């Protein structure tokens, strides 16, 4: 179901528009020193990206303050931190048991994710993701609790809607992880 989105240009364009909105918010917020933020995007060579949209995925929105020169990179639904593969690919490939079903094997083959890379991603979801401030804040909000061994697959299932909506919601949920500085999360338990 969800993995068809890896070949859907309209889904990639939707992610781009979300990133443009997030970048707009970052810019409008300005720098904490009171300076003005100027575009200073990072070049990227994304893997797992459709050729049809590749040109729009070769940079990550980022800004530089005109006064203190501090970098301010906006949250992203396209790039999950520094990983070369797009967040979409990292989530979907990690969520499947590559090699255990024909569909999963095709997906890994199509994206040419090396086995070692996939192993690192799975390890990150299993060992590191549960320790992130985002998950520490969010895990109690999912009832019944999400089995940490089933992340991210079990997490996709907790978001509502069509596959595209669920995945979009998950990628938005994960955006605090895509910037070094932790975004202030809403108050609550
Ligand atoms: Zn500044």
User: Which pTM value belongs to this model?
Assistant: 0.90
Taking ligand 1, which is a single-atom ion, which protein residues have CB atoms under 5 Å away?
A: 31, 33, 35, 65, 67-68, 70
Ligand 1 geometric centre to CA of 164 (Å): 37
Predicted local confidence at residue 109, as pLDDT: 76
Phi, psi of 79, deg, nearest 5: -115, 120
Instruction: Return the axis-axis angle of helices 163-174 and 87-95, rounded to nearest 10°.
Output: 110
pLDDT at 128: 94
Stronger pLDDT, 122 or 106, i.e. the higher one: 122
Question: What is the distance between the alpha carbons of residues 24 and 61, in angstroms, rounded to a whole number?
Answer: 10
**For the segment 91-118, what is each residue's pLDDT rounded down to a tens digit?**
998 987 645 667 767 777 778 888 899 8
CB 49 within 8 A of CB 68: no
How far is residue 163 CA from its own chain's centroid?
16
Q: How far is the CA of 185 from the centre of ligand 1 (A)?
A: 22
Q: What is the pLDDT of residues 48-76, one digit of tens each?
A: 999 999 999 999 999 999 999 999 999 99
Of all residues in the chain, what percent carry a pLDDT higher than 90?
A: 74
Q: Residue 72: its pLDDT value, please?
A: 94
Distance, in Å, from the CA atom of 112 to the CA atom of 26, rounded to the nearest integer, reads 34
């Amino acid at each position: 179901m969800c993995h068809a989105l890896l070949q859907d240009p309209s889904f990639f364009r939707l992610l781009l528009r979300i990133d443009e909105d997030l970048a707009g918010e970052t810019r409008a917020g300005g720098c904490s020193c009171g300076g003005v933020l100027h575009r200073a995007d990072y070049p990227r060579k994304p893997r797992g990206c459709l050729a049809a949209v590749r040109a729009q995925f070769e940079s990550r929105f980022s800004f530089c303050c005109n006064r203190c020169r501090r970098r301010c990179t906006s949250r992203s639904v396209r790039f999950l931190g520094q990983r070369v593969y797009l967040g979409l690919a990292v989530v979907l490939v990690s969520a499947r048991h590559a090699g255990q079903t024909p569909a999963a094997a095709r997906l890994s083959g199509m994206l040419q994710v090396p086995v070692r890379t996939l192993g690192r991603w799975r390890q990150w979801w299993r060992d590191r993701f549960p320790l992130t401030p985002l998950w520490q804040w969010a895990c109690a909000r999912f009832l019944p609790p999400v089995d940490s061994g089933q992340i991210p697959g079990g997490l996709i299932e907790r978001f509502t809607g069509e596959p595209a909506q669920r995945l979009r919601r998950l990628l938005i949920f994960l955006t605090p992880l895509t910037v070094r500085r932790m975004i202030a999360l809403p108050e609550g338990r």
